[in-house]
Chain A
Amino acid sequence: MDFATLAAQLNAGTILPEGIVITTLLVVLVGDLIVGRSSNRWTPYVAIAGLLGAIVALYYQWDLSDPISFLGSFNSDALSIVFRGIIALSAAVTVLMSIRYVEQSGTSLAEFIVILMTATVGGMFLAGADELVTIYVALETLSISSYLLTGYMKRDPRSNEAALKYLLIGAASSAIFLYGVSLLYGLSGGETRLSVITTNIAANNVDQSIGVVIALVFVIAGIAFKIAAVPFHQWTPDVYEGSPTPVVAFLSVGSKAAGFVLAVRLLVSAFPLVSEQWHFVLTALALLSMILGNVVALAQTSMKRLLAYSSIGQAGFVMIGLIIGTEAGYASMIFYLLVYLFMNLGGFACVILFSLRTGTDEISEYSGLYQKDPLLTLALSICLLSLGGIPPLAGFFGKLYLFWAGWQAGAYWLVLVGLMTSVVSIYYYIRVVKMMVVKEADEMSESVKNYPASDWNLEGMRPLQVSLIVTLVATSLAGILSNPLFALANGSVEKTPLLQSSLNTAQTALVDQSVATSSTPAPL
């Protein structure tokens, strides 16, 4: 194989968006090295420009005729494009809200951005990885940069504790994941490409082996850790509470989206032989996540812990779309993640702003905020109500679509539990809103009494304001003007060969079943 044919076979144009992000990362890194501390004035904007450039490049890849590249390592289909867009967008918004925060904590900004962008690159590669080695390396890139980001405020013991916990639990779960993946490699007779694994397993007559089920369980353990599904969620509250808030924002959206796309790709393409089993396991995980996440959130006193448990519950909702596995199911899952991106990042932007101005994350300290900062109160209320699913905000339509798709597919129990736990979730979201809005002037908390006057002209506050307004507008309007998002979600499912083929086999299986039942003569 000579070089020219190899270069043509690699089809390397498909990773242009990741290339843009990596180039930007190097520009930020080298620029900061050369210019020094004063580079803080431009590096974040270069990073944001790079991430938005990556999204533009993704847009031009939408109609790619040949998405498979790097000899089967990478699959740039429509599904991966949507998820890479979600990850890059969440990173861009996170950079916007982290500028002031990182400056204020006295740590260097450029390294923070570099590590955040590496995490983004890892997540984006994970979204398109179509081969076991690439999946693992991309997963590790994402995880290790997440551990570093979690421990970035190294003078703060809470951040150290969070990083250590995240590292230990994360390393254990990734080892388990690797063991499951190695079983897949062995069972398929030494094959790493996802698309070939199933046929090889069937051809090798090991599809009845208990090994496939063990591989499935281990792989699900790794994925469930990434998306923080119960019972693999124990790290979430502590890590969310201890790590810097912008990092939490990225972990709860970008990292979670990467986990979901990994789940779709790995489970749908490598485990169709045990599809009943993985549906069963995921149903259990989704039920537990919805119930435990939303019920435990009721008792939280810290805003970051509240959002941690709420994100566990939200992961349970999103899993409904994955479990039912219909076209509407996948589309509703993507739609919900798109909406969740804006509302959750908006919520975290508000938490960051509040903690910058008052130095606390306690929920009780929010009381009476309405009288001092109406904009922050409005933005936080809208985002929380949208997370709870109050019409006409974006979250309502997201949940409506998810539950409708679930009901259509006959997953009645999942939808019923989802509905009940959303009612529970509305209670604790509204508790915060009530705390901010209803309290009289004499019931104000100490930190709100000492609330500083809003000064957006401080360095780094403008970007925070921009991220706040953008997410606020997106959260309030994405529900009513949701057609482009619907079209995007539906289009990505329609244009993804992997999902289409799995839908077709599910349909033919259904038809076979109905034919079999109708042709069997009824016993007399």
Chain B
Amino acid sequence: MNIADGVQVVSFAVLALMMLGAALGVVLLNNIVYSAFLLGLVFISISGLYILLNAGFVAAAQVLIYVGAVNVLILFGIMLVNKRQPFAPVRSAWLSKVATAVVCLGIFALLGTMVLATPWQLSTEAIAGDGALVKIGLHFFSDFLLPFELASVLLLMALIGAIVLARREYLPDELEEETVLTLPERPRELTSSGSRSNP
């Protein structure tokens, strides 16, 4: 084993341990802010694995999108809500935890067996390495043109939808036709004030 292989093995071990530990922390810790930060650590470790696999572009995209956008958004969400609500301890909660652990381990065992038992066909082509960006671009404008363009429609609609959900609505004045037609959709203010009376 030369020194390059050694470095690879060691960094793989470090990244894998970091990822598993952080992922366990995301699930097991009670404080949601810690979980969110540890999630960022999971994403960074995954991007490290991509670098080990010679996929620099994917690693950069992983950091940019997941750490830079998704995770920051999650943190914003948590901090904007800023609601400390003590949860009443559920009786025999350990039972559901044990059941979850059993199911997760079962799925892990199944998938692990599948991965080990399958004779995967490894590609014989040379690794693209830094040329991957050019290849991805070529694919985007040849055989993946349709999904690429469709994604632009998807993003446009997501933008519109986000604005629709986020913008402040004014309550329209009582319409004249209100007496003629009604809907079960109630303004939120009315329902919440009505339901507060019965705790």
Contacts and interface: CB of A to CB of B under 8 A. Distances in A.
Interface string B167-189: 00101100001011111111110
B113 interface: yes
Contacts of A136: 147
B31 interface: no
A409 B159 CA distance: 48
Contacts of B169: 106-107, 154-155
* Cβ-closest 4 pairs across A and B: A359-B182, A148-B161, A118-B157, A189-B121
Contacts of B161: 115, 144-145, 148
Contacts of B143: 70-73, 131
Interface string B143-155: 1111100110110
Contacts of A15: 146
Contacts of A189: 121, 123
A209 B160 contact: no
B183 A74 contact: no
Interface of A: 1, 6, 10, 15, 22, 29, 70-74, 100-101, 104-108, 111, 114-115, 118, 121-122, 125, 131, 133-134, 136-138, 140-141, 144-145, 148, 151-159, 186-187, 189-190, 204-206, 209-211, 214, 244, 355-361, 452, 455, 458
Given A114-B157, A148-B164, A156-B188, A204 B182 contact: no
A147 to B, nearest CB: 8
Contacts of A140: 154
13 contacts: A70-B145, A104-B182, A111-B160, A111-B164, A136-B147, A141-B153, A148-B164, A154-B164, A204-B121, A209-B117, A355-B184, A356-B182, A359-B184
A66 to B, nearest CB: 16
B29 interface: no
Nearest to A458: B177
B120 interface: yes
A259 B183 CA distance: 30
Contact of A157 (B110, B120, B188): B188
B118 interface: yes
A458 B144 contact: no
- Identify whether the interface residues of A are mostly helix, strand, loop, or mixed: helix
Nearest to B141: A6
Contacts of A159: 185
B103 interface: no
B30 interface: no
A400 B169 CA distance: 50
B133 interface: no
B3 interface: no
B86 interface: no
A137 B161 CA distance: 17
Contacts of A151: 165
Contact of B185 (A73, A155, A458): A155
Interface residues of B, number: 44
Contacts, number: 149
A66 B142 CA distance: 18
Given A71-B142, A148-B164, A356-B181, A137 B123 contact: no
B171 to A, nearest CB: 8
A209 B118 contact: yes
Contacts of B187: 155-156
A453 B158 CA distance: 41
B164 A186 contact: no
A111 B160 CA distance: 7
A101 B183 contact: yes
Contacts of B164: 108, 111, 115, 148, 152, 154
B153 A133 contact: no
Contacts of A210: 113-114, 117-118
B119 interface: yes
Given A118-B153, A155-B188, A156-B191, 6 more contacts: A115-B161, A204-B119, A206-B121, A209-B117, A210-B117, A452-B179
A111 B162 CA distance: 11
A131 B151 CA distance: 15
Nearest to B144: A133
Contacts of A452: 179-181
A359 B183 contact: yes
B121 A70 contact: no
A144 B154 contact: yes
B102 interface: no
A182 B177 CA distance: 54
B46 to A, nearest CB: 15
- Best-surrounded residue of B113, B143, B180 (most CB of chain A within 10 A): B143
Contacts of B180: 452, 455, 458
A190 B122 CA distance: 9
B111 interface: yes
Contact of A361 (B158, B184, B188): B184
A72 B180 CA distance: 54
B113 A134 contact: no
Given A104-B183, A114-B157, A205-B119, A73 B114 contact: no
A108 B192 CA distance: 23
A108 B34 CA distance: 40
- Best-surrounded residue of B113, B165, B172 (most CB of chain A within 10 A): B165
A269 B186 CA distance: 47
A154 B147 contact: no
B37 to A, nearest CB: 22
